[in-house]
Amino acid sequence: MEKIRIDRTNDRPLVFNGKLLSVVAVKGKFFEENWKLYITESGKYICQVKNNSFFDPETIEAKVCESLEDVFDFFGFSPEAKKLYSLAGIDCTEYVE
């Protein structure tokens, strides 16, 4: 684990001991986003989106998540999100009995 600092846009910096689990690039016609998923030493997840837009300055959003459900709420279930989960070794399947 290493000490990681995320300088969030319009929010306090976020500092934690953890490691990067996965990264996915999301590209559109006028923007590019980098999605990152970290895990902390205490087992919490950190979700980060770095947005580079053709029209707006770069923004960085990051959220502390207590559970995988919180992570799923943050990133959703787009193909890019599913790839992020897969690279991190996370099964996002909904099981029904």
DSSP secondary structure of 12-76: --EEEEEEEEEEEEEE-SSEEEEEEEEEETTS-EEEEEEEEESSS--EEEEEEESSHHHHHHHHT
Which residues make beta-bridge pairs with 96?
none
How far is 85 from 67, CA to CA, in rounded Å? 13
- Which 8-state DSSP code applies to residue 79? H
Predicted confidence (pLDDT) at residue 71 exceeds the cutoff of 90: yes
pLDDT in tens, 14-64: 999 999 999 999 988 888 999 999 999 999 999 999 999 888 889 999 999
Quote the tokens at residue 1. 């684990």
Q: What pTM, to 2 d.p., does this model score?
A: 0.92
Query: What band does 2 get if pLDDT is binned at 50, 70 and 90?
Result: very high
Res 25: pLDDT: 94
